[in-house]
Amino acid sequence: MQGLSREAVRRVYRFYAPVYDFVFGLLLDSGRAALARAIDPAAQRVLEVGVGTGLALKRYPALAQVVGVDLSEEMLLRALPRARRLRGARAVDLVCADAEHLPFPDASFDAITLPYVLSVTPNPQALLRELRRVCRPGGQILILNHFRGAQGMGGLERLLARFAHRVGFDSQLDMDSTLGGHDWTREQVRPVNLFGLSRLVLLRNA
């Protein structure tokens, strides 16, 4: 992403960490709920890329082993109490790592979720290649994100694009050009959150 480096992402989310739940919790929660409902309940290993403060952890399949990855140590510190509370009901591990270079073997997960992350990574294509690598053949990849062209958002999208390195968010990401060119099946795309601000994309890894 032009104007957004890994250090910029770390810096922005160091600032967001104490207020993230208050600012983005309820506002984006219906999207997280839809994301979790779309996961195959038989999935045994689930990877959440961009786990943040752990807001989605409680919604994943009860029998699944969940691994949450984030670039920001400050965000993971906020997620840790949530993960600890869930460990009696499901296995949850948190890992600080760069999602463009995931520290997992090929085909490690049955389902991978990417909530609100694709617009905050410096190289979306590198991230997508890593998701495909660590997802088993036939597994699910579920992307929840804002893509360019949401109704009534054109002016705000253009404004935010000028300050991507400060707000930590690429408002101009195009869904078709970003997700096209990969050998996977796009099973479903649907709007979520208030005014269809985000889209939930369900992919099947080939």
The predicted-structure confidence for 118-177, as pLDDT tens digits, reads as follows 988 889 999 999 999 999 999 999 999 988 765 555 444 444 444 334 444 566 788 999
| 119 close to 93: Cβ distance less than 8 angstroms | no
Domains of the chain by residue range = 6-205
d(CA 39, CA 129): 20
pLDDT score, position 13: 86
- Which one-letter amino acid corresponds to residue 166? R
DSSP 162: T
Tell me yes or no: is domain 6-205 CATH 3.40.50.150: yes
DSSP 193: S
Q: For 35-51, write each residue's pLDDT tens digit.
A: 999 999 999 999 999 99
Which 3 state secondary structure label does DSSP give 29?
helix
Q: Is 162 exposed, middle or buried (0-12, 13-18, 19+ CB in 10 A)?
A: exposed
CB half-sphere exposure, 53, CA atoms < 13 A: 16
pLDDT score, position 158: 47
**The model's pTM:** 0.87
